[in-house]
A and B are shown apart, each in its own frame.
Chain A
Amino acid sequence: MVVDQLSDTELDRLFQALADSTRRDIVRRVTVEEYSVSGLAGLYAMSFAAVQKHVAVLERAALVTKEKRGREQIVRGNHDGLQKARLLLDEYEAIWRQRVDRIADILAEG
């Protein structure tokens, strides 16, 4: 099972990271294009330090990467981390696809 490939700690971090709406919004944005931390801070009604903390949580959960460029810290979506979250939904999809197959089979009996 794919889920087993994630340790409990990794899963905890992943779910904790996605449980906050600001952090989900950050993930959405930086997956499309890179942002500096100060650029992100300008988007929300919260301090630079608060946004920096959110980014740090996302970084620990491997959902984003952060790198220094001059005086700026550039945040980008981490494809691998997002992929892990997607795997969970893929597993759920497999469960439902099997149910649909069983329904189709019952209906085929007439």
Chain B
Amino acid sequence: MSVTDTTKNLEALSFTLTAEFGAGVERVWQLWEDPRQLERWWGPPTWPATFERFDFEPGGKASYYMTGPEGEKAGGWWRFTAIQAPNRLEFDDGFADDNGDPVEAMGTTHATVTLEDAGGRTRMVIVSTFESEEQMEQMVQMGMEEGMKEAVGQIDAILAEHANA
């Protein structure tokens, strides 16, 4: 199991997840740094993400959209606030309208990602802090539109593949 710990702070509305991967820090960093690799895992299988802009530098912006099963699109944006390759990345994450412009009313989530070496493996810690309570719910709504069953089904299929390999 990759996820080793999760902590939720109900009062501060923050969420911390710790995971460990069987790959080096540099390799895991690529999954954040390279938009083509990032889009392979950021969106759920039924709502894949496409990054149209990706200025990977402090102060730089990224914009993306997720495409649903019916062709519907949900836009999002990031603003990188700190980048220290290959160990630390911080960014604000919010919703975007059809033109890719931030929807300010929907608030932002601040994410801090740290990657550290754990004997050749990589420990990744993600801290998400919600700016407003409503915004947390919107993030959840958007992330869950995929249909949990399909995602779980896909994971099961992958696991079965590995078991047979």
Contacts and interface: CB of A to CB of B under 8 A. Distances in A.
Nearest to B45: A102
Contacts of A28: 11
A23 to B, nearest CB: 10
A97 B136 CA distance: 17
A32 interface: no
Nearest to A21: B11
A18 B136 CA distance: 12
A24 B11 contact: yes
Interface stretch (A36-44, A48-56, A68-76, A84-92): A84-92
Given A27-B11, A28-B11, A94-B148, A107 B136 contact: no
A46 interface: no
Given A82-B10, A95-B143, A106-B31, A15 B23 contact: no
B155 A19 contact: no
A3 B137 contact: yes
Contacts of A88: 136-137, 140
Given A3-B141, A27-B11, A19 B132 contact: yes
B23 A107 contact: yes
Range, interface on chain A: 35 or more
Interface in B6-33: 6, 8, 10-11, 13, 15, 17, 19, 21-23, 27-28, 31
A95 B140 contact: yes
Contacts of A45: none
B125 to A, nearest CB: 11
Nearest to B22: A107
Interface in B33-51: 37, 40-42, 44
A33 interface: no
B132 A92 contact: no
A16 B137 CA distance: 13
Interface of B: 2-3, 6, 8, 10-11, 13, 15, 17, 19, 21-23, 27-28, 31, 37, 40-42, 44, 124, 126, 128, 132-134, 136-137, 139-141, 143-144, 148, 151, 155, 158, 162
Interface of A: 1, 3, 11, 14-16, 18-19, 24, 27-28, 82, 85-86, 88-108
Given A15-B132, A92-B140, 12 more contacts: A3-B137, A18-B10, A18-B13, A92-B136, A93-B17, A94-B148, A95-B143, A99-B41, A100-B19, A103-B41, A106-B37, A107-B28
Lowest 10 CB-CB distances: which A-B pairs, in order?
A15-B133, A102-B41, A95-B143, A89-B8, A91-B140, A107-B23, A104-B2, A24-B11, A100-B19, A100-B2
